[in-house]
Amino acid sequence: MATGENTMNGSYLNVIDQIYNASWTANKLSRFSLLQEAMQALLPHQPKAKTLKYIQVVGTSGKGSTTRFLEAGLNTVSSAGSLTSPHVFDYRERFSVAGQMPTRPQVTEIWEKKILAYMVAQAEAGQPALSFTELTILIALHVFTKAKVEWAVMEAALGGRYDQTQALQPQFSVLTNVGDDHRDFLGEHLWQRALDKGGIIQEGRQFFTSETALETVEILQNLCREQKTAYIDVSASEVAATKRALQKLLSPQALQQTLFATDIQYRNAALALKVITSIYPEADETRILTAFTRVRIIGRFQKIAPNIYIDIAHNPNKIVALADTLQAHFPKQKKIFVLGFSRGKNIADMLKPLLPQAQKIFVATEFYKSEDAATVKKALKAAVKRTSITFIEDPKQALRAAQEFLDLRRVQGAGEDTPLILTGSTYMIAAATNPDPYLEYINTLNDWRDPQQHR
């Protein structure tokens, strides 16, 4: 064997993977053409004139926050909108222009007067239907076009190489990190997931990352060399400088009321700042950082009542970040958790970072896309030896039981400052806390008419 042939070559590995899975690959890549054809028909000026400039954001964790930071920062020097996922309570949460989601009449008009007629025509012509993700991208582009923004910051739905945001042919691609998520789709091993997310690295497209894991960094750097693209990363000193600058802007108490209540957000902010200042070197960094402090995202360590928080930490990386945040905010208190696990999650890995801080755990077992109750109980009983666990089917009842437990502790004089945290599945949190009962119901049955719908 020639010297160096056993060194990882990401591009070649991807080719071999595609050859072995040619039918699947062709189907996934054909979706790009399908979306581009829809853009051409519904937004004919977009694919040709490139009115919108696209920034694509990929990663295991932090990509939603980074997307919203980019939108906020770009609005200090230009105009921008963003698309993120998932939503917690209302579908409109996915879309933002200058920090505001569209109105219900706006979404209704876009669907009824623009997209639905195209979908019907495609069905009549025997063409494949657009998926939920593709439709959501089209709605976002209509929202942005109507608002006449210059920049569209698009969070990838899943992975990178085959995500529909690739069809937009973005000018800039941003990767927060590569962790343990969606093994069934992205690969069992870290290097597989790195190659998939690293598929956004393409010649002619600027690439930015805040990844720090050495194995992943090496893979991403190799991909950049293969694609003749610069590897632009965020250093530890840049993260520290961003943190110091933000701490000068606001008091510690004021920062606690922002996304910077969680320490990981400083890295996301540093990444977004680097992208923006690379595009606009003369931009005022203080104005950009001030804009970052005004970003609010539903479901990200959000206080919904005194001592009650929700956080959609639905993979092990996000759970670790949440555990660190809780330890920083409540270093002396044990916590009460209401947890829910979606199908396919590694329950033991999800639970492990929270156990040292847990006083009592309530587990909701019946909600949209929930893991089988018997599987959850078996996994938890194997992983948890000392902490008390109560299993309750309905998420609302699980929350109510947790609140009653907390109230009892307070009556006993032992739980005055005890925090109650709902985390894990986004669907569980929505089922337990959505203030709109009609949306809560329809969100949990979003594919009831066609369970086989391509999503």
In a domain? residue 17: yes
Q: What is the pLDDT of residues 259-307, one digit of tens each?
A: 998 889 999 999 999 999 999 999 999 999 999 999 999 999 999 999 9
DSSP 159: -
Cβ atoms of 408 and 340 closer than 8 Å = no
Tokens of 258: 């922002």
Q: In whole angstroms, what is the distance from residue 200 CA to residue 173 CA?
A: 6
- Whether 145 has a pLDDT exceeding 70, the answer reads yes
Together in a domain, 249 and 361: no
Tokens of 207: 């690439």
> For the residues of 51-95, what is the DSSP string, one character each?
-SEEEEEE-SSSHHHHHHHHHHHHTTTS-EEEE----SS-GGGGE
Sheet containing strand 302-305, edge to edge, reads: 302-305, 308-311, 420-424, 335-340, 358-364, 388-392
Degrees to nearest 5, angle at CA 139 with 30 and 154: 70
In a domain? residue 182: yes
- Whether 13 has a pLDDT exceeding 50, the answer reads yes
The residue range of the domain holding 323 is 302-444
Banded model confidence at residue 4, pLDDT cuts 50, 70, 90: low
| Residue of 181, 213, 219 whose CA lies nearest to 198 | 219
Banded model confidence at residue 404, pLDDT cuts 50, 70, 90: very high
| Residue of 318, 347, 343, 344 whose CA lies nearest to 421 | 318
Q: In whole angstroms, what is the distance from residue 238 CA to residue 267 CA?
A: 9
Together in a domain, 74 and 190: yes
Domain count of the fold of the chain: 2
Together in a domain, 242 and 130: yes
Please give the helix or strand (H or E) that residue 395 lies within, else none.
Answer: helix 395-411
In a domain? residue 455: no
Choose the weakest-confidence range: 101-115, 263-277, 321-335: 321-335
Please give the helix or strand (H or E) that residue 194 lies within, else none.
Answer: helix 190-197
Average confidence (pLDDT) over 214-225: 95
Neighbours of 385 (CB within 10 A): 7
- Whether 75 has a pLDDT exceeding 90, the answer reads yes
Cβ atoms of 318 and 61 closer than 8 Å = yes
Together in a domain, 289 and 315: no
Cβ atoms of 350 and 341 closer than 8 Å = yes
- Whether 454 has a pLDDT exceeding 50, the answer reads no
In a domain? residue 64: yes
In a domain? residue 3: no
| Residue of 363, 337, 349, 367 whose CA lies nearest to 427 | 367
**pLDDT in the model for residue 383:** 83
Together in a domain, 401 and 267: no
Residue 451 gets the label, from left (phi > 0), alpha (psi -120 to 50) or beta, of alpha
CATH number, residue 234: 3.40.1190.10
- The proportion of the chain whose per-residue pLDDT surpasses 90, expressed as a percent, equals 78
Together in a domain, 272 and 387: no
Tokens of 24: 């699947």
Tokens of 277: 């200042």
CATH number, residue 435: 3.90.190.20
In a domain? residue 453: no
Cis peptide before 86 (omega within 30 of 0): yes
- Whether 201 has a pLDDT exceeding 90, the answer reads yes
**pLDDT in the model for residue 451:** 65
Mean pLDDT (the chain) is 92
Last residue of a domain, one of 260, 293, 326: 293
Together in a domain, 26 and 127: yes
DSSP 168: G
Helices of type H across 200-284 = 214-226, 236-249, 252-255, 265-279
Average confidence (pLDDT) over 369-381: 90
- Whether 19 has a pLDDT exceeding 90, the answer reads yes
Together in a domain, 380 and 439: yes
| Residue of 363, 387, 366, 388 whose CA lies nearest to 377 | 363
Together in a domain, 186 and 316: no
Together in a domain, 174 and 283: yes
Together in a domain, 282 and 312: no
Together in a domain, 362 and 225: no
Chain-centroid distance of CA 42 in Å reads: 27
Last residue of a domain, one of 228, 263, 293: 293
Q: In whole angstroms, what is the distance from residue 407 CA to residue 397 CA?
A: 15
CA pseudo-torsion sign 200, 206, 212, 217: positive
In a domain? residue 391: yes
Q: Is 189 helix (H, G, I), strand (E, B) or coil?
A: coil
Q: Please state, in angstroms and as integers, the Cα–Cα distance from residue 356 to each residue in 333, 351, 376, following that order.
A: 11, 10, 19
Cβ atoms of 156 and 63 closer than 8 Å = yes
Tokens of 132: 């939920």
| Residue of 298, 294, 276 whose CA lies nearest to 285 | 276
In a domain? residue 96: yes
Q: In whole angstroms, what is the distance from residue 384 CA to residue 323 CA?
A: 17
